[in-house]
Structure 1
Amino acid sequence: MTVETFPRGPRPFDVAAALGGLALGLLLWAVGLDLYPRRDVPGWWVLVPLAVTAGLELLRRVRPLTGLAVGCVALVADQLTTGSLATVLLFTDLVYAAAVYGSARLARRLPVAAGALTLAAVVWSVVTWRDAYSLMPGLGVGLIVFGPAATGALVRHHRDAARAARREAERTARLAELDRAQAVTAERTRMARELHDVIAGHLSAVAVHSTAALSLDDADTSRRALGVIRENSVAALTEMRRLIGLLRAGGEDLEPSAAPTLESLPPLAEGVRAAGFAVTLDLGPGLGSGPDAGAGRVRLPSPVELAAYRIVQESLTNVLKHAAPGPVTVALRLDGGALRVEVTSAHGTPDGQSARAPGAGAGLIGMRERAVLVGGGFEAGPEDGRWVVRAHLPVPEGEGMVP
């Protein structure tokens, strides 16, 4: 549901339009340039609807519907006097402002109502006078009412389209930033594994040569072994410092050996909420911590928690890439000796568009492999107009207990 908000006060342009329209009307009245000069009414009467319409310019953004309604009354009153062109011009601006700054419903209905009024004026004038000039009153109503209403609706449409394009661009930028962060994390992980293998090789060399130094009673052999041990120890320490620096590159609070757990799901969901999706995180009793979790934290095996986290992470990434706007629900439950994970989202991209960002196409395969590695199962596909991802991850008996 869209809630219309109004500015707190008139803008400088509104004040200038009010003063300018009033000044123009006074000038026209002073020189005697009236729309209907032959009417037998006091000439100053025309100033009353002029003043009212000029004052309504201050409401063109603040209360556009109120300004239009009172402006209609003022315009009718102006037709009963000698008439002022300035009043008519100010009224057309009120119609335009109502279409641009009013509610979405008003913007849709105003051109239709104005068009119906114009058509009715044309039919009435033609039936009444039955000559070529009988079209003039209807055309005048069209210029005063339908023209500004249609113009305002068109301007509002383009403004809303530009705003939607900016939101989509911001969402795409956030998605690109998320992909970049994931790519950096993946690269850091790959480098960390490589450094781990390098360090393991150095330590293996230390172990082998220390065994040789201890088993052989030969001074030269022991000296050479100690030299190799020192060389590999220094190299291992260097690589270890590089590994620690790599793992801490994202911030001082990063724990190098920490793996994601269920307690990491709320920040993950918050990141997707920032991209404009309404994510509901429903953690069953004993899972997670914080406002989104149940009470009494259950400690699950690390492989199970890591698999659950990665499945949810990949599902939410697919939501950012492929899902149409709509609610997203992430539910985790302990049921029947297994952790059950379910992620539901809108099916398909909006208006048949392609994916917002390219992917490798291995997301579902990776989620299935993670579930199978811990002895579980995985399924994903459309269901009742939504995309549903389900996984069940077995919890060995006696391991899903409250500490």
Structure 2
Amino acid sequence: MTLTAVVHDAAQVVTLETTDEDRADEADGEERTDGERDGDVHTELAVYEDAAVAVEDGRVARVGPTGPVTREFPPENAAHAVDANGKAVIPGFVDPHTHALFAGDRSDEFEAKLRGKTYQEILEDGGGILRTVRATREASDERLLANLLGHLDEMLAHGTTTVEVKSGYGLDTETELRMLELIDRADDRHPVDVVPTFMGAHAVPEGRSADEYVEEVVHDQIPAVESQGIAQFCDVFCEEGVFSVEQSRRVLEAGKEAGLTPKVHAEELARIGGTQLAAEVGATSADHLLHSTEEDVAALVENDVVPVLLPGTAFGLGADYADARQFVEAGADVAIATDFNPNCYSQSMGFAASLSCVEMGMTPAEALVAATTNAATALDLPAEVGTLQEGAPADIAVLDAPSYVHVPYNFGVNAVDTVLKGGEVVYRG
């Protein structure tokens, strides 16, 4: 075994673990804080003080008080020794919903929204998604890849070590396949793990009806995506004025037949039934959910669909926020994401956590669980991802702050000092 890294003398090391409801707090020097509840099981933060993390062959070998850990795993023997004196150590963030591959600029639309134009009005005027589609189709592979790698650099600097990236700015078979190929190339070249999602049903192209375009997605795009073999998920924008519930169902069921796991953009601008659809088709996640009802929440919990809440989108639109408390109190494994895209231009999971606490009523512990282990669940990743438990991938963010609470508390500032991916130092602030 190779001693990859030792992060030592941290003010806090925070791990996440799932435990029985009545488990005693038995570890020395360890506090437990509730995150999300799932029936009789908690996901809890285990907070170790004056602590260290040892990494062997890219996985966490030991977590605990600095003295015992460093005696067993001397920092001087490690490929990477990180002195975290006065700093908190947390799992790297998992961002389970982004549209980070695109070309063009839509900052003028931000001003238009401030003057009172709605999202739908901008879209009807040829802006919004369709404007980005035109720019993305025209951009070279080199430009698109450079754009995505730059965004991944920014995400990494803010502590994200795994991210989902969707296609969907192609709206034709050729460009959708190009986008998925570039997402795959970015995954090969960048330290951040990139999870690819096909989203041909992101908008209706100009000059087409929704029904006509759904036929193309089902009969042309999805078979080509299956043959390409890159995408893991199939997503659809189930929304008023975009794709109806039945149109969305056709896309998702065709995707399932092609081996693509369903995801649904649901109830963002209006409630039309996307959440119930996600439950019915066995989606891994339903995302946005600003207008979901108690009935919708119950359907997600009953069918093990992860609700992915995107507070940055509500912030950018000046809209009401999703009611996180109704999901948490119903026992859902709530996740949060940036929704980074030209209409929600933030690569920071820390900012999403701040909004989750201030605007959606989550606690800092709930927000951290939502941004790590629950977000990994929304991507069907192995259970140990986003936990820093022993045996987990050593994806680690070291904060320039004494407590994980500073992630949402110190809003507007990047609290991340150092990032390790698989125990390798891949970013220093």
TM over 0.5: no
With the shorter chain as reference, the TM-score category is under 0.3
Structure showing greater Rg: 1
**TM, length-normalised to structure 1:** 0.22
Higher RCO, 1 vs 2 (CA within 8 Å, ≥6 residues apart): 2
Query: What's the TM-score once normalised by structure 2's chain length?
Result: 0.21
The structure in which a higher percent of residues are strand is 2
